[in-house]
Structure 1
């Protein structure tokens, strides 16, 4: 039976060794798989210890093994089960790859949701289950105080050296190449497609000399072509 004393045990602070730090990326372009962000660089982070885009926050978390240990201590008979099963009798994942779970502790059942967007295969399944336990555990007060802490707004970083037009163009060319490569196009096809588009754009504008080509085009023209391709 769930009691105030049991809830207090579940919500007790974790020892320092149980708390880890991981990056939480906040830039949409840095998250994208088919483009490379033109504003932020990937570099080692001294706080979270990973090599990641500079467009991230370092957030604290408790690993699922510590959550399981807390549950075992408070209620050795605790249990979790998927909210739904598929036709094969296995836990049913939703269309996002996430899993809804029912977590029962001291006779009280709460829902949890887990996913593993950066994992694949069997490792993703285990990560999803652990993530769901952490998520559902918050409803019992487990590590909830960590999520309640209000973090100060990100400090505005001083602007670094402004990129030159040549540097901006190089980044834009790289974004276009990566995007087109993801669609199975060769570099020669990418260059030819841009050159034809640029030639037509110049003709429509009445320009007859110095028609831009992919290797030398400036950032404004490359940005226009990037938008035409639908690259965000």
Structure 2
């Protein structure tokens, strides 16, 4: 379960820096969404199911609670608690559909809960990590040079704009974009670079 997922099974979820960001075609993921945006890596339902079947062909999940109709009981936040059992071991997971409604929202909540519970077994654990992902990237085969190149690119851009590296993350957060991971997180470095390229004086 803890074997890193290959790159072809890892998807990108765009998260625009602001809710009202103007939409456009993204050069990184090819999607049409608010720009600029940071892209979060995640494993989809199919890839996780494949991993579960490899680990235990008889794996199964069940809701923690049922409603009066015998269907999975969602909580007041629209979330679903489940029990995931793999090789006789059962662990809890929680998922939601980010406020969506309808049948697709139910499927999304189930998939989210499975990913959350699968993480308790170590599935895609490196993608869930919110701290220093440098070692995790190395385990997935990402070259350490990539982080060094990203840092150099960001430092050069900040130097051109007269921004102290120590102030870069604080200014990013103060503009309503939230906080990023550590300086060793390549995605955080790229997010900062994309943000400052959009600022006056930055490159187009």
**Smaller-chain TM-score bracket:** 0.5 to 0.7
Q: Given the two structures, how large is their TM-score scaled by the length of structure 1?
A: 0.56
Q: CA deviation at 1:117?
A: 2.0
1:84 aligns to what? 65
Give the root-mean-square deviation of aligned CA atoms. 1.9
How many residues are paired up?
142
The answer on 1:13 being equivalent to 2:4 is yes
- The answer to whether the 8 Å contact 1:64/1:134 transfers is yes
The answer on 1:57 being equivalent to 2:38 is yes
Say which one has the larger Rg. 1
- The answer to whether the 8 Å contact 2:78/2:99 transfers is no
The answer on 1:43 being equivalent to 2:24 is yes
2:14 aligns to what? 23
Residue of 54, 59, 66 corresponding to 1:73: 54
Q: Distance in 2 between matches of 1:82 and 1:104?
A: 11
Q: Secondary structure at the match of 1:43?
A: strand
Q: CA deviation at 1:118?
A: 6.0
Q: CA deviation at 1:126?
A: 1.1
Residue of 63, 66, 91 corresponding to 1:110: 91
- Structure 2: which 5+ residue stretches go unaligned? 134-184
1:89/1:80 CA distance change after superposition, 3 Å = same
Q: Distance in 1 between matches of 2:72 and 2:17?
A: 31
Q: Distance in 2 between matches of 1:100 and 1:145?
A: 23
Residue of 61, 74, 77 corresponding to 1:96: 77
Q: Distance in 1 between matches of 2:80 and 2:55?
A: 24
> C-alpha deviations, 1:102-132, integer Å up to 9, x for none?
1111121111111112643111111111111
Q: Secondary structure at the match of 1:110?
A: strand
